[in-house]
Every structure is written in C-alpha cells, then in structure tokens.
Amino acid sequence: QLQLVESGGGLVQPGGSLRLSCAASGLTLEYYVIGWFRQAPGKEREGVSCINTNGDSTIYADSVWGRFTASRDNAKNTVYLQMNSLTPEATAVYYCAAVRRYSCSGTESYKYDYWGQGTQVTVSS
C-alpha cells in the first residue's frame, strides 16, 4: 500500500521560508512523478509544482515561480518543496501526490493517483 506523508508545515512570518517533505512508503519513489498542491480555505485545490523522476525537470505555477523549488532524494524516498519569500497568500494545506510516469504532464489533480494527508502552512505576522 502506497503512502505519502507530508511534513514541515507550520507558522512562519511573511518573508520567511519553510521546507516541506513528502516521504513515501510502500513504493519506490524513483518511478513516480510527484506533484505539490495546496488548498486554501474556501478555494479550489491549486497545483503548485511538479518534479519528474530524475529531479532534473520541474514545473511551477506562476504564483510561486522563482520562490518555490522542488527537489527529490530518491535514495531517501523523499521529495521536498523549498518555499521562500512566503506571503500570507501562501497559507493553505499543502499536499504531495504521486503518479507512476517518468515526466511531468501538468499539475491537474486528476492526473495523480496517490495523495498524502496534507500539512498546514500558515503565513502570518
């Protein structure tokens, strides 16, 4: 049974940074594209980023371009999302999701088969 577990969320001041982790069990993560998503209260889920299996190709939403960086350590079966220059608009529950394919095909939710439970990120002074 594949499981994804996010961690690293919390409360941070505007302008601060957080690094989220997505740890996988029950599968070999190196065969899976990983997407990062977020959902703010009252809003639809938004695709934030996608990283391919090798970690050498990524996709970012315009809203996070230049501030968020996805990376992965397949040896540790873990994917990361480094978030810098955070603004209150980044407040949301962040999810990682997996699909077995080599390259990213976008950040639409329906393209991903496995989901974590989410981690809360709150940006506030």
Consecutive sets of 10 residues in the chain, 125 residues long: mean pLDDT of each? Answer: 94 98 92 97 96 96 97 97 97 97 93 96 97
Q: Would you state the pLDDT for residue 13?
A: 98
Q: For residue 23, what are its two tokens?
A: 């740890």
> Please, are residues 16 and 123 in contact by the beta-carbon 8 Å criterion?
yes
Asked if 92 contacts 81 with a C-beta cutoff of 8 angstroms, the reply is no
Q: Residue 58 half-sphere exposure, CB side, CA atoms within 13 Å?
A: 20
> So what's the pLDDT on residue 27?
81
